Structure 1
Amino acid sequence: MDFWTRLLGGSSQKKQAAANNPQQRLARFKERYNNILQVWHKAQPLANDPEAIARIRKGFQGLQAILNDESRSPAPHLCLSFAASQQIYTAVSKIAATAHDEGVVRDAVTVYNALIDSEEEDFLENDVFAASLMNFIGRIVGSGSMAVGEDIEADIVELLFGIAAKIRLQSEILPVWFTTHPADANGRLVNRKVDFAGVTQKEDFPLCYQLIDHVHHEGRIGDFARTGLLYIFESASKSEGLEQWIVNSDLPTLMASGLGALYSQLSRKLSILHPSNDLPLILSLSDYGEMQSNHQAESLFSPDFQIHLDTFLSYLTFWQDVLEHCRSIDVRHTLIDHFQILFLQQLLYPSLLESSDIDGGSSVAVLTYLRRILDVLDHPELVHMILHYLLALPDYAATSPRAPRSPAAVKRRQSLMLLNVPEKEDDRMNPSLFNLVDLILSSTQSRNPQTVIAALKLTTVILGKNHGYALGSLIKVVDIHHKEPHRTVGALNAEMETYLNLAIGLAGETGVDEAYESLLKDKLSMLENHPCSLKSLALPNSPLQSPSFFDSETGPREVGPHYLIPEDPLFKALLDLLLRFLTNDVETNLGLTEAIVNLGACSQLRLEGWLSVDPSNYYFADNKDEEPQDFSNESFRDMYRASRQPTWNSSATSPLLACLQSLQAQVEALRADIKDFDEHLANRKQAFHIHEEINEAIKSTPPQIKPSRPSTELPAGMWTPQVPKYLLDNSASPSRTQSPRGRKEGLDHRHTPTSSPAPSKLGGQTLVGSPSRGMSPLPAPRAANHQTTLMADVFSNLAEVANSEFLKRRIRFRRPADSQIVEVMLSKYQPPPKDPPDDPAAQAEAEAREKDDIREASLGHILTNVVILQEFVLEIVALMQVRASLFSEVRFA
């Protein structure tokens, strides 16, 4: 046995020694290469000889294997030296281009990869190698003469990405891949084709143009192309020639027009209704299924549409990544100019201007696209450009210092602006005549629920993420100069108690305390992350720095203390929607409450006058006899007086509270006229509670381990483009988070404001069926098959019980014209007579009733909205308490 072992081991050692012998390895390499040349010369044409193609593929694979083996072996590397001296890559590219075979192309790419990865013989510094490779790629994927599969195209783009990464790290090899031509006396490049707003110079930098041709793809192709092009722009700061070439070339034009092309592919009419066959529970327990979408509109949840939308948003994210990594001021300004003129002014704003609520979807589409754009963008220059233009804001930053531009960048901007000048002055589009504010305000008053939902969600993004731009445009405010709070802690406690009693009166006391504790954590996180909170939470002498990681001085104006004007059109529109809360569809109510909460999340916006009572309307009972007389000093007396709870006249009630009290009166009318109303309401809350418990159980279940697959990500250690989380999750939801109002689950209990005034005194169980977060109108989380089946069965039973015939009873609500009072038409309702009345007074009354706003909804739908309303009121209370604690908004003395 030992004999055979020694014999086999000796044979293996001899083979290994032969494989590592440089001379023998070179002989095998030459033999393979010569065989390839012989087969190629004999087979004419090569594309019609399958046997020759098979032999060439085998030869290419052999060359690649030998090169990889030599790269891992000690010097000398004779095969690499032979490949460089004989320029074998030239023959490889010609053979692959004439074979018209995908397999040959794939194997040729592996040979090129092996040469580049060897990092010897300076292939990337060889101009012949660069020309050969780019000619090969141009014939394969550039000319369109050969159709290759996506996997091969991805391999080619990955090869280009690798070269761009080497250029970024070794700027000395840039002249090999990028060449410039002489300019005339005026600085203009000669012998160039003028294309649109730039000069076409593909022969100068074919690598760059190949990358720009693939940036619009999804998957690996787009990721590698965008990152490779990003490295090119980053290298511009190290090369003055490349910097000026980008400014003068048509590359910025191609990027902007590519973004416009992707936006144009999005449907002009959009439906944001959830599919009727896959409604979440909170929507199925309402009249949501009765909403009809326009058959001409494309569904937001369509897989094909989601692909187009994700591709557009990925390319938009690529734009801001380029601006972040590009340190060349001229290149950045040129890119921003093209974005502004070619995309924003010539495409995005016209789509806003041409949108209509009448055609059944174009306003919904534009509002949804704008929301997703602002949700994705974080770069201050892009955000400022979009909102400053669409909101028609005054140029308050015109006097701020800006980095000077070079003469070439100035001329490029001037020529670009000339392209945007209309032939007739009347054709000039001006946002000052119709802008985003006009579209949002008109959309919130629409009779189409989808338009209202889309407008509310866009409003939430602007108020929550870009609040500084909303001041003076979307919301009308008046600046104030006093910083000391006027409200007292006693007034805060009185108002919180009023709101809290209202919430309990709507849907009962069960579980309010635990729900309130959860909302406190939610609001604390929301306020701490609000863009206006940095100034309020910063230490007195600490320098204020923007939390953004982008290097830019552009941004919204500084936000100071301000009041909301009572006549603000947006706030009045929100109150008008709130007054119809019980008959609104569920998504409208979720969007409405989210918008109001985001309005109150600004630390600089005072709550007085819209959410809280103005301190000038406080009334304190003059009970000096009850005032303790044993105060040691005056400060204790002031603290006692500040803790007193004031009263106020009904006319001084804040508009928001007055609207909520009107809704409470509607609920009381239903409770008085519908038998067992509270029992049905408790059942509805229980249905939501079961749903939430099942979701929590599934989240806590360990996920199943899936078989590992080859990674399609970029190589380890490489920088990857920033991709929004919802794109990684492949979410089809229009919401920003996995819940309608974005609660951050699992927050640390240490953040609970223990020193807040008036802590909750209510004990009890969990708020059964809180729908505002857990009952999001989103698909349920994917889990194991048996869990999914169990959830489907439970939800089916819940929906069947909740949608009983009794709960389908229709209830009408009538709001007289120009009135803030909504009448619940239950047993009082009488159908109008069929014949017109002869009495003139009765006829006039009938005509007046025709102008009334009459809406109806099922009892089950109303029950769901009452549960949502209770949570919203609790959210208002939590917002008031956390603000008072975090921003010191009330006086304790």
Structure 2
Amino acid sequence: MDFWTRLLGGSTKKQAAANNPQQRLARFKQRYNQILQTWQKTRSLANDRDALSNIRRGFQALTAILNDESRSPAPHLCLSFAAAQQIYTAISKIAATSHDEGVIRDGVAVYSALIDSEEEDFLENDVFAASLMNFIGRTIGSGSMGVGEDIEADIVELLFGIAAKIRLQPEILPVWFTTAAADTNGRLVNQKVDFAGMTQKEDFPLCYQLIDHVHHEGRIGDFARTGLLYIFESASKSKTLEQWIVNSDLPTLMATGLGALYSQLSRKLSILHSPNDLPLILTFSDYSEMQPNSQAESFFSPDFQGHMDTFLSYLTFWQDVLEHCRSVDVRHTLIDHFQVLFLQQLLYPSLLESSDVDGGSSVAVLTYLRRILDALDHPELVHMILHYLLALPDYAVTSPKTPRSPAAIRRRQSLMLLNVPEKEDDRLNPSLFNLVDLVLSSVESRNPQTVVAALKLTTIILGKNHGYALGSMIKIMGVHHREPLRTVGALNVELSLYLNLAVSLAGETRVDEAYENHLKDKQSMLESHPCSLKALALSTLSPHASSYFDSDAGPRDVESHYLMPEDPLFRSLVDLLLRFLTNDVETNLALTETIINLGLCSQLRLDGWLAVDPSEYLFQEADLESQEGSNDNFRDVYKANRAPKWDSSAVPPLLACLLSLQVQVDALRADIKDWDEHVANRKQAFSFHEEMTEAAQSTPQMKPARPSGELSSGSWTPQVPKHVLESSTTPSRTQSPRGRKEGLDARSTPVASPIPSKLGGQTLVGSPSRGMSPLPAPKAGNRQTTLMSDVFANLAEVANADVLKRRIRFRKPDDSMMVEVMLSKYQPPPKEPSDDAGADAGAEAKDDIREASLRHIITNVVILQEFVLELVALMQVRASLFNEVRFG
């Protein structure tokens, strides 16, 4: 033991010396004096490398000593010395005049060590605050020397830490925020300001430094936005700060900053995939024949994705500020600036100026609006945007329940005057052309990209903000009776019709598995729909969650309603559905998603568009007479279970359109040899690709997470119809529900399987037409699986290359709901030129003639089958979940 004691004795003495407060203070003073001497003796510090190196070592030594002392027990003599001698003033001057990034970085570290010590009240010291902000202003302020992003991030992180302390300790706010416009009682003196407010950076330089960096990406932007968020949250604890923000140019800077980021987005946009990076499902189609506009920027380019991410981050920051700001005046001042400077002066004009003729501006605006609405959840912002762009009667933000202060009222009035045009004819009025007009015209466009962009925007509005779509995007009429008129017998007949239709389109293979997945998926989607909250909420619970602020902004209450037969949007959807076999794949995926989202509203009756109107039921009276003498309850049950019939004129338009598509498929089956075999091979290729992709993504050591749509024990279990179970012996290999949940973005995982939800939902990975929560891109380890599936697909294609390349024409006569398949053996021989050739050409020009390759049509047939199965699942789950049919 004596040996080990003697051996360790030296290190014990050294450690004791290091922890000795007096000796630590002596070393600290020595290092500090060396820094001062080096600085004072050097004429041009920026050009003397040896002096810069000595100062850097000195700064690093000071930081190490301060950090060591902060972890040691009291007394903390070095921190006391630093506070008494105000060493930070010298450090600020030395670092700012060095023009050296290394010295600046080490100077920031010294400031951080002083602040982190939480002693000597550095954050409550006016001199400390002034020296720090002067240092930062000369380092990263406007006109300052340029420093690297890592150093800038360290400085902004330092500012964030101070803002966090102000949020927790409001009493230190006066140190960092002072205003010469305040009277002796701390109240702001009324001053005449224009719409931009007062620019007085000297009042609150910390706040202005944060606002200058909120647009950055990465750490810089994250720290700046969060720090500024804390400043706005502190406004509710300081009346002086609250009035200063209202009167300052801070709201203007925030709104114009958002507008600047939006303006950086390309005016013309192409949402086509690169030919070298197509998802599998697109390779089985004519997608490669679509040519992008050379003047449009690609949605999938890294530059565009960077600009879009930055814009959405700042938009989300706006939302966070409004959620955390408890000051009514500040919140409504921000909303006013958002409305005038961004919505009315930038976003709506870009909608107004968009065009489908120039090949990309309509696609861009529709895509940007979709991303904006998908990112926003704040009720006031959503209310303002949709009420204005949809030209709803009360599009202006309703008056707040809490009255505004006189200063806030004056600020709003001056801001509104800015938006008044000199001439009345120059006023932009959404009542003349609004988002509804743009969507309706875009859905009918001949440009597939425009159609896809319009459908995806429609899906977002129908899904997230359904109350705003009623009466604007979709025309409805109220329901005067609450009890359902549809019967369980009619439901069984309709389910059987749709199921038989699905099987006749693409065979029985994997139908049972697909339908089971759809049932689970649709239950999850119905339960999470905004309109379902009221229908499923317990009577003792309020369907609306309590909010953190009082606001009248919100959508209209959604009551039970019908879809009007002449609704323009629905008629356009049916018209698109009629051309399903020749549509491009992305259009069909977006189309099916829109129709499914329309049916997810629990308050929308299915009668008349998806299901047969009960008034059209026809029953055999003889069957009812046979039940005479039975009690009333038994008779009611029997009546509800009868299978009705109906005239052909009573068939709902969606079913009629699907039956027309079935006729087209039957014509192809009769003319093309081995049609059913081609369809089965295509389904097998998609299935194989999906299974290999899922196998590569899951590891044996980790059990896959339970999907959100999977049913928990004890919940309602969907019953697969016996017809489906008996019609296929294919074992179920996928237990997780498929749905429209996975995001289709540039960074999504490529899964190109036509299994229920992925075709009806987000199959096209990387497509801008799907959800906005992208999954990570596939890693190199998945390349083997992708290669195997590609080889499998290529073998199937090569074996039938000549047959699958055959082009088939489809003709839809003008004002007709029937599409004729113009097969080769039915095509008439070319006519000889004659006098009436011009008349024949004119008549034929009115017809809508489109063509596609056989492999493209087969892919769309597989998608169509999955869509029909989705409709069946939707009808069955709705009937069980919302008691939509009578059982007695």
Q: Deviations over 1:316-354 (max 9, x none)?
A: 000000000000000000000000000000000000000
CA distance in 2, matches of 1:319, 1:228: 13
Aligned to 1:641: 639
- Contact persistence 1:561–1:604 (CA under 8 A): yes
1:891 to 2:886 alignment: yes
Partner in structure 2 of residue 681 of structure 1: 679
What amino acid is the match of 1:39?
T
Does structure 2 retain, via aligned residues, the 8 Å contact 1:689–1:770?
Answer: yes
Q: What are the equivalent positions in structure 2 for 1:835-874 lying under 5 Å apart?
A: 836-838=833-835, 840=836, 843-874=838-869
SS of the residue 1:200 aligns to: coil
Letter in structure 1 aligned against 2:784: T
The residue that corresponds to 1:813 in the other structure is 810
Give the equivalent residue in structure 2 for 1:798. 793
Cα distance in 2 between the residues matched to 1:444 and 1:66: 68
Cα distance in 2 for partners of 1:847, 1:335 equals 58
Matched, 1:665 2:663: yes
| Separation in structure 1 between the aligned mates of residue 711 and residue 565 of structure 2, nearest angstrom | 37
Counterpart secondary structure, 1:335: helix
One-letter identity of the residue aligned with 1:777: L
User: Deviations along 1:684-707, whole A, 9 cap, x unmatched?
Assistant: 111011011112212212699xxx
Is 2:349 the counterpart of 1:386? no
In the alignment, which residue of structure 2 is the partner of 1:499? 498
**Equivalent-residue separation in structure 1 for 2:521 and 2:695 (angstroms):** 21
Of the three residues 648, 651, 654, the one matched with 1:650 is: 648
CA distance in 1, matches of 2:351, 2:45: 55
Q: Secondary structure in 2 aligned to 1:584?
A: coil
Q: 1:306 to 1:550 in 2, by over 3 A?
A: farther
Q: Which residue of 2 aligns with 1:718?
A: none
CA contact (8 A) 1:520 1:752 kept: no
* Whole-angstrom CA distance in 2 between matches of 1:401 and 1:202: 30
Partner AA of 2:827 in structure 1: Q
- Indicate the SS of the match to 1:819: coil
TM-score, normalised with respect to structure 2 = 0.92
2:97 and 2:194 map into 1 onto residues whose CA distance is 31
The two structures, once aligned, show a CA RMSD in angstroms of 2.4
Task: Report what 2:339 is aligned to.
Answer: 340
Task: Provide the rounded CA distance (Å) in 1 between the counterparts of 2:723 and 2:625.
Answer: 26
Match of 1:788 among 780, 783, 790: 783
Distance 1:435 1:257 in 2: 23
Change beyond 3 A, Cα 1:189–1:166:
closer
SS in 2 for 1:542: coil
1:747 maps to 2:734:
no
The reply to whether residue 822 of structure 1 matches residue 831 of structure 2 is no
SS in 2 for 1:814: strand
Say if 1:193 and 1:113 are closer, same or farther in 2 by CA, change over 3 A: farther
Name the structure 2 match of 1:92. 91
Q: Give the aligned residue type for 1:28.
A: R
Q: Which amino acid aligns with 1:875?
A: E
The number of aligned residues is 850
1:778 paired with 2:789, answer: no
Q: CA deviation at 1:181?
A: 1.6
1:37-95 Cα offsets, whole Å, 9 max, x none, are: 00000111100100000000000001001101111111111110110010000000000
User: TM-score scaled by structure 1?
Assistant: 0.92
Structure 1 stretches of 5 or more lacking a match? 705-742
- Give distance in 2, aligned partners of 1:330 and 1:613: 53
What's the counterpart of residue 750 of structure 2? none
Question: Which letter does structure 2 place at the counterpart of 1:527?
Answer: L
Map 1:1-400; keep pairs closer than 5 Å: 5-182=4-181, 197-395=196-394
1:545 is displaced (CA, Å) by 1.8
The aligned amino acid for 1:639 is V
Residues 814 and 862 of structure 1, relative CA distance in 2, 3 Å threshold? same
Q: 2:374 is aligned with what amino acid?
A: D
Instruction: Report the Cα distance in structure 2 between the residues aligned to 1:266 and 1:860, rounded to whole angstroms.
Output: 36
Maintained 8 Å contact 2:55/2:103: yes
The CA distance in 2 between the partners of 1:305 and 1:311, in whole Å, is: 10
CA distance in structure 2 between the aligned counterparts of 1:369 and 1:831, rounded to whole angstroms: 47
Going from structure 1 to structure 2, the CA distance change for 1:469 and 1:830 (only over 3 Å counts) comes to same
CA contact (8 A) 1:814 1:824 kept: yes
Match of 2:739 in 1: none
Evaluate the alpha carbon distance shift between residue 622 and residue 580 of structure 1 in structure 2; reply closer, same or farther with a 3 A threshold. same
Greater mean alpha carbon deviation, residues 790-799 or residues 530-539 = 790-799
Q: Secondary structure at the match of 1:857?
A: strand
Q: Which moved more, 1:765-774 or 1:853-862?
A: 765-774
- Give the secondary structure class of the aligned counterpart of 2:824: coil
Q: Distance in 2 between matches of 1:564 and 1:783?
A: 42
Asked whether the equivalents of residues 519 and 874 of structure 2 are also in contact (C-alpha less than 8 Å), the reply is yes
Letter in structure 1 aligned against 2:693 = N
Matched-pair contact (CA < 8 Å) for 1:489–1:643: yes
Q: CA deviation at 1:403?
A: 1.8
8 Å CA contact 2:479, 2:561 repeated in 1: yes
CA–CA distance in structure 2, aligned partners of residues 270 and 36 of structure 1: 56
Select which of 698, 701, 709 maps to 1:700. Answer: 698
**C-alpha offsets along residues 423-446 of structure 1, whole Å, 9 cap, x if unaligned?**
111111000000000000000000
Summarize the Cα distance change of 1:229–1:703 in structure 2 as closer, same or farther, 3 Å threshold.
Answer: farther
C-alpha change, 1:31 and 1:193, in structure 2 (3 Å) is farther
Q: 1:801 to 1:510 in 2, by over 3 A?
A: closer
Q: Which amino acid aligns with 1:795?
A: D
Q: What's 1:585 paired with?
A: 584
Greater Cα offset, 778-787 or 208-217: 778-787
- Aligned AA for 2:852? A
Q: In structure 2, do the counterparts of structure 1 residues 377 and 191 end up closer, same or farther at CA, with 3 Å as the change threshold?
A: closer
Name the amino acid aligned to 1:148: V
Letter of the 1:207 counterpart: L
Alpha-carbon distance in 1 for matches of 2:131, 2:93: 9
Structure 2 counterpart of 1:730 = none
* 1-structure distance, mates of 2:532, 2:19: 66
In structure 2, the gaps of 5 or more residues are 734-752, 767-774
Q: Note if 1:421 corresponds to 2:420.
A: yes
Letter in 2 for 1:892: F
**CA distance, structure 1, for counterparts of residue 396 and residue 331 of structure 2:** 18
Tell me if structure 2 keeps the 8 A contact 1:671–1:677.
yes
Q: CA deviation at 1:850?
A: 1.7
**1:852-879 residue CA offsets vs partner (Å, 9 max, x unmatched):** 1000000000000000000100110110
| Equivalent-residue separation in structure 1 for 2:714 and 2:625 (angstroms) | 38
Q: Residues 576 and 744 of structure 1: is their aligned pair in 2 closer, same or farther, counting only changes over 3 Å?
A: farther
* Letter matched to residue 882 of structure 1: V
Superposed CA offset, 1:631-670 (max 9, x none): 4x21011101100010000000000000000000000000
Deviations 1:159-186 (A, max 9, x none): 000000000000000000000223699x
Distance change (3 Å), C-alpha of 1:669 and 1:521: same
Query: What is residue 735 of structure 1 aligned with on the other side?
Result: none
2:764 is matched by which residue type in structure 1?
P
Question: For the residues of structure 2 that align with 1:702 and 1:213, how far apart are their CA atoms?
Answer: 49
Q: Which amino acid aligns with 1:643?
A: N
Deviation, 1:274, is: 1.0
Going from structure 1 to structure 2, the CA distance change for 1:211 and 1:832 (only over 3 Å counts) comes to: farther
**TM-superposed deviation, 1:416:** 0.5
- 2:97 aligns to what SS in structure 1? helix
Letter in 2 for 1:147: G
Tell me the alpha carbon deviations over residues 391-420 of structure 1, each in whole angstroms, 9 at most, x when there is no partner.
000118987762211110000000001111
Q: CA deviation at 1:378?
A: 0.4
Distance in 1, Cα, partners of 2:615 & 2:191: 73
